Structure 1
Amino acid sequence: MSVIRIFSVILLLIAVVGSYLAFTGIKPEPPAAEPDLASEPKPEEWVMDDSMTTFLDEFEQSFTEGLIAKQIPGAAVAIVKDGRVVYQKGFGVKEAGNPEKVDEHTVFRLGSVSKGFASVLTGLFVEEGLVRWDYPVSKYLEEFKLNDPEQTNRVQVRHLLSHTSGLPRHAYTNLVEDGLTLDRIIPRLERVPLIAKEGDQLSYQNAAYSAIEKVLEFQTNTDFNSLLHERLFSPLGMEYSSASYDSIRNSGNVALPHVYYSRARGRVPISISRKYYNAVSSGGINASASDMGEWLLLLTGHQPGVISKETLEDIYTPFVTMNNRRYSRHWVGVNKSHYAMGWRVLDNHGQKIVYHGGYVNGYRSEIAFAPEDGIGICILINTSSSYPLTVIPDVFEYFRSETHSLGMTAE
């Protein structure tokens, strides 16, 4: 059949079909209209109820007055409730004598608040089966040896993270502060006489605690700082967080540390130190209030894609009792606390509070949260002061005594 005849047949078919549609009244469907986005209902937005707004306004005024009274140069605060960051703000200045203000993204050092990052990071690998809480540390890390070989074989990851390995308090913290690497410090633990059987007594550690870094590095073939960034900082959007001296020094928005000099001069700025960046899990993490708000959301169980609530519960389970009132003295009617894994725990009249504090190089940090209630607060300051400890219990008292939450309304 020629090309001309084929073309003629096609035209004839088109004409026949068109006539049929016209006869039957069937019309081809018009193309689908684009949705009118302007007419779409707006998504509902979370807004605070008036009572919480009033409370946060009063908190801000009172906190500001306290900073002035205590001569604290700068601070930053993050508060979370019900899976939302409800408050984050900077106060004061980054450096005494300099007008540059602290904001919610200003970087501070966390000190021992870093310990909670190490336990949570370990929990991620427990979930993946690379690490077990009840497995001997020495099986992961041959260099980890204690004065008693039998106890060496019994000390588990859980003992390491709860400061109950049997070592005396602050074993070789001096070597950490002298800048020795963990590779040089850990083998020396064998020389230290033990004071207790594993699990029996809390004896706070920095060098031994930081051995967890080497456990995770061995199991993942990745350095600890990279693990922090890849598994915690990046997924949580903690874009101002880091774990090195160079990072904080090169930050364009950092609060300088201060120490008290005299009544006349008050608190004066000092240089940022390299101390504890050789033992990051014990005191080497840097972060802002905005970062800590995201961290609190994870800690209160609102990042299940990163870590499960069940694993967090394991981490927060009390392991050893602390009878010293040093850590509960600001909580009315609370006379003792416990240590879990990287966290202290207390019972605030039926409300479980998980918390930790940190001090390093002229910085002070405090973090506390009630995982079952979804409430948390972190306070960062650039000097040494117990002022944050006096503030935090009042925040929990407000939420404990009243039923306040974020209301969900359409706007």
Structure 2
Amino acid sequence: MRLDRNLFHLIWAVAAAVALWPHAASAEPISAERVAAALTKLEALAQGAVDDGGVPGLAIAVVHDDEVVFLKGFGHREAGKPEAVDADTVFQIASLSKPVSATVVAALVSDGVVSWDSKIADLDPAFRLADPYPASELTIRDLFSHRSGLPGTAGDDLEDIGYDRATILHRLRFVPPSSSFRAGYSYSNFGLTEGAVAAARPTGKPWEDIAEEKLYRPLGMASTSSRHADFVQHADRAALHVRVDGAWAARIKRDPDAQSPAGGVSSTARDLAQWVRLLLGDGVYAGKTLIAADALEQTHVPLMTRGKNPVSGGESFYGLGWNIEFGRHGLSWGHAGAFSVGARTLVTIFPREKLGIVILANAFPTGVPEGLSDSFADLVFEGSVEKDWIEAWNGIYVGLFGPMVETAKAAYARPPSPPTPSRPAGAYVGRYASDFIGDAVVSGAGDGLVLKLGPSGARTYSLAHFDGDRFVTFPDAETPDRPAGVSFAVGPDGKASAITIDFLDDNHMGTLRRAPD
């Protein structure tokens, strides 16, 4: 299981708890002088975070009163190499793509191409959910607010094993809902992706072209794209970093094209500052109305509650691709992004104060973006930093998945003594299939077994015997020491009739039946 499947939901659940700290917002207007004083200290904090090894590199943009008042890079694009991060370094922004994509759809709404309440059944008649009624009533608004009933990780597992967007969206029909339609919030990368793709369909153009046409090009965001191929063509781009033996290392690459509207945008601090200007201008940019204010305003209406803060009891909400918070410094809009293979991003906007900050980092796990954003808000609203927010957020991020990984390790630390022997390889070898996962092929390899998954067996996993008909594999490139079980159900004929793949079983969709020979 890739760790970033539920990562963004977990991040925001925690973010809500911190953002809703009980504190009255300042009643005083935010002057340019106060912002300038805060920026001097923010710059020092950012440089300190890089110097202390908090992240290899950072880029920050701050907008106030329709002006980009801060724009700077810190550190390096890749650890151990001399190339510096600057305002034009291109980062993969992960789930910060969601509010960007919501802005693109708002432009389509503004142009009358669709409405937020356009039905998916009308826009994309081939798309289905497991239950007929939600499928017939589902709207763009439902998918961008994560209230479709789709489980949060639905489709992420198929992306892990190499399937493309069209295949993944088609197979969502086989996933049972995690809640009643419009009754529960479940953060879904591929649900939002379908909402965006469907919104673009009346234009006859791919989503990636529409994003460029409706947002990137009008704002002069020349380094921004919704295609991974464009990202890798930039010489000035940030590598993804993870911790290896306590040091940052660029080990893994991530192609998020399958979920591009939800997590596949790449951009720079300079470009995203122009986007923030548009948002703070209620759709007006450089004196010209690009998006009708009412179409854009809909993205910031609280639609789904994400739970109560255990400290203050305050509520946190989700709109259309945005978090809406009523926190320590009043109303804010925001969104975090993360790839567990090495990216962290954040936008925080205080609309009443016409103030916004974007922070891009090339590492995971780290709480540096939230720490700097919270510190900057304290400096602007209070004049001083309330606490060491970077340290507090680092603790949260480092601890997000540690217990889960350790539990998995403990489960497979050693087999029972003595273990039950496995059956001959021939009992397990064969082809298995399900409507959702597709084909799985098990073959013999020396003393063990090999499992192949995905289109044309795109992913290969070695299976080592653990106990009886249970085997173990290590499916995650970013956590190579994290085990997962693979079990066979054996029938009276001595042959396996089914295989259950634990790292594909989040939504109880990981069992495949043996296919006829």
Structure 1 length normalisation: TM-score? 0.80
Q: Which of 203, 215, 235 is 2:218 aligned to?
A: 235
| Contact persistence 1:147–1:192 (CA under 8 A) | yes
Worse-matched range after superposition: 107-116 or 315-324: 315-324
Q: Which of 158, 163, 169 is 1:180 aligned to?
A: 163
| Percentage identity across paired residues of the two chains | 27
For 1:204-250, what per-residue CA distance to the aligned partner results, in whole angstroms no more than 9, with x for missing partners? 10112101233133211011111111111111011111122221111
In structure 2, how many angstroms separate the alpha carbons of the residues matched to 1:333 and 1:84?
34
Are 1:319 and 2:303 matched, yes or no? yes
What is residue 4 of structure 1 aligned with on the other side?
none
Q: CA deviation at 1:137?
A: 1.3
For 1:365-385, what per-residue CA distance to the aligned partner results, in whole angstroms no more than 9, with x for missing partners? 011102232111010011011
In structure 1, how many angstroms separate the alpha carbons of the residues matched to 2:179 and 2:235?
46
**5+ long unaligned stretches in structure 1:** 1-47, 403-411
2:316 counterpart letter in structure 1:
S
1:310 counterpart letter in structure 2:
D
Query: How is 1:196-345 mapped onto 2 (pairs within 5 angstroms)?
Result: 196-263=179-246, 266-274=247-255, 276-301=256-281, 303-304=283-284, 305-323=289-307, 325=309, 335-345=314-324
| Contact persistence 2:42–2:372 (CA under 8 A) | no
What is residue 36 of structure 1 aligned with on the other side?
none
For 1:351-377, what per-residue CA distance to the aligned partner results, in whole angstroms no more than 9, with x for missing partners? 211111111241110111022321110
**What SS does structure 2 have at the residue aligned with 1:337?**
strand
Are 1:370 and 2:353 matched, yes or no? no
In structure 2, how many angstroms separate the alpha carbons of the residues matched to 1:119 and 1:163?
13
1:235 counterpart letter in structure 2:
P
Give the aligned CA root-mean-square deviation in angstroms: 2.0
Q: Which of 379, 382, 398 is 1:398 aligned to?
A: 379
Q: CA deviation at 1:349?
A: 4.8
* Matched length: 347
In structure 2, how many angstroms separate the alpha carbons of the residues matched to 1:168 and 1:401?
40
Change in CA separation of 1:51 and 1:195 when aligned onto 2, cut-off 3 Å: closer
What is residue 379 of structure 1 aligned with on the other side?
359
**What SS does structure 2 have at the residue aligned with 1:207?**
helix
| Contact persistence 2:62–2:68 (CA under 8 A) | yes
What is residue 398 of structure 2 aligned with on the other side?
none
| Contact persistence 1:176–1:207 (CA under 8 A) | no
In structure 2, how many angstroms separate the alpha carbons of the residues matched to 1:333 and 1:113?
27
In structure 2, how many angstroms separate the alpha carbons of the residues matched to 1:162 and 1:358?
16
| Contact persistence 1:167–1:195 (CA under 8 A) | yes
In structure 2, how many angstroms separate the alpha carbons of the residues matched to 1:77 and 1:334?
32
| Contact persistence 1:241–1:288 (CA under 8 A) | yes
Q: CA deviation at 1:80?
A: 0.5
| Contact persistence 1:77–1:289 (CA under 8 A) | yes
| Contact persistence 1:368–1:378 (CA under 8 A) | yes
| Contact persistence 2:55–2:368 (CA under 8 A) | no
In structure 1, how many angstroms separate the alpha carbons of the residues matched to 2:125 and 2:259?
19
Change in CA separation of 1:277 and 1:369 when aligned onto 2, cut-off 3 Å: same
**5+ long unaligned stretches in structure 2:** 1-30, 384-517
Change in CA separation of 1:124 and 1:50 when aligned onto 2, cut-off 3 Å: closer
Change in CA separation of 1:324 and 1:180 when aligned onto 2, cut-off 3 Å: farther
Q: CA deviation at 1:83?
A: 0.7
| Contact persistence 1:167–1:192 (CA under 8 A) | yes
In structure 2, how many angstroms separate the alpha carbons of the residues matched to 1:313 and 1:400?
25
Are 1:73 and 2:52 matched, yes or no? no
Worse-matched range after superposition: 157-166 or 315-324: 315-324
Worse-matched range after superposition: 383-392 or 212-221: 212-221
Are 1:389 and 2:370 matched, yes or no? yes
1:382 counterpart letter in structure 2:
N
Q: CA deviation at 1:64?
A: 1.3
Higher Rg: 1
**What SS does structure 2 have at the residue aligned with 1:116?**
helix
Q: CA deviation at 1:70?
A: 4.3
In structure 2, how many angstroms separate the alpha carbons of the residues matched to 1:152 and 1:52?
48
Are 1:151 and 2:130 matched, yes or no? no
In structure 2, how many angstroms separate the alpha carbons of the residues matched to 1:90 and 1:153?
47
| Contact persistence 2:39–2:376 (CA under 8 A) | no
Q: Which of 348, 370, 373 is 2:327 aligned to?
A: 348
Q: CA deviation at 1:396?
A: 2.5
Worse-matched range after superposition: 201-210 or 170-179: 170-179
What is residue 75 of structure 2 aligned with on the other side?
92
Change in CA separation of 1:73 and 1:350 when aligned onto 2, cut-off 3 Å: closer
In structure 1, how many angstroms separate the alpha carbons of the residues matched to 2:82 and 2:69?
27
For 1:47-70, what per-residue CA distance to the aligned partner results, in whole angstroms no more than 9, with x for missing partners? x95543332111111221123334
1:317 counterpart letter in structure 2:
V
1:237 counterpart letter in structure 2:
G
**Highest RCO, 1 vs 2 (Cα 8 Å, sep ≥ 6):** 1
Structure 2 length normalisation: TM-score? 0.64
Worse-matched range after superposition: 68-77 or 333-342: 333-342
Deviating 4+ runs (over 6 angstroms): none
In structure 1, how many angstroms separate the alpha carbons of the residues matched to 2:308 and 2:260?
27
**What SS does structure 1 have at the residue aligned with 2:332?**
strand
Q: CA deviation at 1:303?
A: 4.2
In structure 2, how many angstroms separate the alpha carbons of the residues matched to 1:311 and 1:135?
13
What is residue 191 of structure 1 aligned with on the other side?
174
| Contact persistence 2:226–2:261 (CA under 8 A) | no
In structure 2, how many angstroms separate the alpha carbons of the residues matched to 1:119 and 1:292?
14
In structure 1, how many angstroms separate the alpha carbons of the residues matched to 2:35 and 2:113?
43
1:119 counterpart letter in structure 2:
A
| Contact persistence 1:70–1:387 (CA under 8 A) | no
Q: CA deviation at 1:289?
A: 0.6
Change in CA separation of 1:95 and 1:334 when aligned onto 2, cut-off 3 Å: farther
Q: CA deviation at 1:278?
A: 1.9
